[in-house]
Structure 1
Amino acid sequence: MLALVLALSAGSALAQPLSFTTYQQQTIAWMQQHRAFQTPDHAAEIAWNAPREWRPSGTPKKGILLVHGLGDSPWSFNDIGPQLAKQGYLVRTLLLPGHGTQPKDMLDVTLAQWQQVVREQAQVLRQEVPEVYLGGFSTGANLVLDYAYQHDDIAGLVLFSPAFRPRNGYAWLTQYIGWFRPWLAKPDSGVRPMQTPVRYLNVPTNGFAQFYRSALLAQSDLKRGVYTKPVFIAITQHDSVLDADYVLQQFNRRFTNPASRLVWYGSSPAQIDALPRVLARSDYLPDQRIAQFSHMSLLFSPDNPLYGSHGSQRLCWNGQDAPDMQKCLKGEPVWYSDYGLREPGKVFSRLTFNPYFQWQAQVMLQVLDGNVAALAQ
Structure 2
Amino acid sequence: MALPEDENREHPGVEDNDDDPAHAQGLTHLIRRSLSGVGTFARRLLLGVVLLVVALVAIRAYLSTQGPPLRPWQTIVPEEPDAAAIAKMDWRAWVQAETAMFDQVHRKLRAQLDPSDHTPLNRYYDESITSPLRFDRDWNRSFVFEPERKPRGVAVMLHGLTDSPYSMRSLAALYREHGFVVLVPRMPGHGTVPAGLTREGRAEWNAVTDMAMREAQRRAGDALPIHLVGYSNGAALALLHEMRWIERGQRSDVDRIVLLSPMIEVNRFARYAGLAGVPAFFSRYAKSAWLDLMPEYNPFKYNSFPVRAARESYLVTADLQRSLETVARQNRISQLPPILAFQSIVDDTVSARAVMTRLFDVLPDNGSELVLFDVNRSRVMAPMLRAAATNWTRDALQRPRDYTLTVLGVTSQDDAAVLARSRPARAGAITAQPIGMAYPAEVYSLSHVALPFADDDPLYGMHPEGQGGLRLGAVAVRGERNALVVSQDVLSRLGSNPFHGWMLARIAATVDAKNR
TM-score (norm 1): 0.82
Asked if residue 3 in structure 1 is aligned to residue 79 in structure 2, the reply is yes
Change (3 A) 1:136 1:286: closer
Deviation at 1:78, TM superposition (A): 1.3
- The residue number in structure 1 matching 2:133 is 43
What's the CA shift for 1:73? 0.2
- The answer on 1:89 being equivalent to 2:180 is yes
Q: Counterpart of 1:232 in 2: which secondary structure?
A: strand
- Please point out which of 437, 452, 459 is paired with 1:306: 459
SS of alignment partner, residue 201 of structure 1: coil
One of 117, 133, 137 as aligned partner of 2:208: 117
Label 1:269 to 1:74 Cα distance change in 2 as closer, same or farther (>3 A): farther
Matched with 1:171 is: 270
Structure 1 gap ranges (5+): 341-347, 373-377
Q: Structure 1 residues 269 and 59 mapped into 2: Cα distance closer, same or farther (>3 Å)?
A: farther
Tell me how far apart the structure 2 counterparts of residues 171 and 329 of structure 1 sit (CA, whole Å). Answer: 25
Which of these residues, 130, 135, 150, is aligned with residue 229 of structure 2?
A: 135
Q: What 5-or-longer segments of structure 2 have no aligned partner?
A: 1-76, 110-123, 246-251, 280-287, 376-392, 411-415, 417-437, 465-469
How far off is 1:98 after superposition? 0.9
Matches within 5 A, 1:253-292: 253-266=361-374, 268-275=393-400, 277-282=404-409, 287-292=440-445
1:220 corresponds, among 290, 314, 322, to 322
Number of the residue aligned with 1:229: 337
What's the offset of the Cα at 1:314? 1.6
1:146/1:48 Cα in 2 relative to 1: closer, same or farther (>3 Å)? same
One-letter amino acid of the structure 2 residue matched with residue 137 of structure 1 = Y
The aligned residue for residue 24 of structure 1 is 95
- Distance change (3 Å), C-alpha of 1:307 and 1:176: same
Question: For structure 1, which segment, 264-273 or 228-237, has the greater mean C-alpha deviation from structure 2 after superposition?
Answer: 264-273
**Per the alignment, in what secondary structure is the counterpart of residue 125 of structure 1?**
helix
What's the TM-score, normalizing by structure 2? 0.61
Amino acid corresponding to residue 233 of structure 1 in structure 2: A
TM-superposed deviation, 1:262: 1.2
1:367: Cα distance to partner? 3.0
**2:139 aligned partner, one-letter code:** W
* SS in structure 2 of the partner of residue 184 of structure 1: strand
Distance in 2 between residues matched to 1:174 and 1:161, nearest whole Å? 22
Tell me how far 1:184 sits from its aligned partner. 1.6
Deviation string 1:179-232 (CA, Å, 9 cap, x unpaired) is: 3231123x3xxxx32351010011110011111111112222322323531111
Deviation at 1:11, TM superposition (A): 6.9
Alignment of structure 1 residues 54-203 onto 2, 5 Å: 54-130=145-221, 131-151=225-245, 152-166=252-266, 168-180=267-279, 181-185=288-292, 187=293, 192-203=294-305
Q: Is the 8 A contact 1:299 1:354 kept in 2?
A: yes
> SS of 1:3's equivalent?
coil
Q: Which residue of 2 aligns with 1:33?
A: 104
Distance 1:301 1:288 in 2: 17
**1: distance between equivalents of 2:176 and 2:228?**
14
Task: Please say if residues 343 and 371 of structure 2, whose CA atoms lie closer than 8 Å, have aligned partners that are also in contact.
Answer: yes
CA distance in 2, matches of 1:104, 1:111: 16
Instruction: Kindly report the root-mean-square deviation, in angstroms, between the aligned alpha carbons of the 2 structures.
Output: 3.1
Task: Write the distance in 2 (CA, Å) between the matches of 1:263 and 1:43.
Answer: 36
Which amino acid letter does the alignment assign opposite residue 160 of structure 2?
G
Distance in 1 between residues matched to 2:504 and 2:474, nearest whole Å: 27
Q: Which residue of 1 aligns with 2:429?
A: none
With over 3 angstroms needed to count, the CA separation of the structure-2 counterparts of 1:329 and 1:252, relative to structure 1, is closer
1:221-258 deviation line (CA, Å, top 9, x unaligned): 32232353111101101100111111012343233344
Task: Tell me how far apart the structure 2 counterparts of residues 106 and 174 of structure 1 sit (CA, whole Å).
Answer: 14
Deviation of 1:12 after TM superposition, in Å, equals: 4.4
Q: Which residue type is aligned with residue 229 of structure 2?
A: G
Deviation at 1:158, TM superposition (A): 1.0
Count the aligned residue pairs.
346
For 1:286 and 1:366, the matched residues in 2 are separated by: 23
